[in-house]
């Protein structure tokens, strides 16, 4: 694997991580302002942001679909492998963010 791809994997992980952690914390401020329980809302927001964090980390769904198409139809397995690795890395970032949030609020996030 090339060095640029490794950097892209690291960026993908931390973008997904940041979307989960940042979205849950900032969203809980809104819950606090409206009189709801901030930790409970943090739990709900982190759960709802899972797929959006992955989509944001891989750069949108259309690029991912185009890369899958190139990998399957053109026989470019390296592009397919790279896209799968990006998605798995983003899922790892989401899981790490959810673990941090669940540790912070001391609740289990489904």
3-state secondary structure 42-102: HHHHHHHCHHHHHHHHCCCHHHHHHHHHHHHHCCCHHHHHHHHHHHHHHHHHHHHHHHHHH
Each residue's pLDDT tens digit, 29-43:
999 999 988 888 998
d(CA 86, CA 69): 16
Across 10-39, average pLDDT? 93
pLDDT (average), residues 78-94:
90
Per-residue confidence (pLDDT) for residue 17, from 0 to 100: 97
User: 16-20, 50-54, 68-72, 83-87: lowest mean pLDDT where?
Assistant: 68-72
Give the helix/strand (H/E) hosting 37.
Answer: none
pLDDT-above-90 percentage for the chain = 53
Q: pTM (2 decimals)?
A: 0.83
């Amino acid at each position: 694997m090339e060095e640029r791809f490794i950097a892209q994997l690291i960026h993908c992980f931390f973008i997904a991580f940041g979307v989960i952690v940042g979205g849950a914390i900032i969203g809980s401020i809104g819950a606090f302002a409206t009189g709801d329980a901030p930790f409970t809302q943090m739990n709900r927001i982190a759960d709802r942001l899972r797929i959006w964090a992955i989509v944001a980390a891989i750069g949108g769904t259309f690029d991912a679909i185009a890369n899958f198409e190139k990998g399957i139809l053109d026989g470019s397995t390296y592009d397919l492998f790279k896209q799968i690795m990006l998605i798995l890395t983003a899922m790892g970032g989401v899981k790490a963010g959810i673990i941090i949030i669940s540790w912070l609020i001391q609740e289990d996030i489904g």
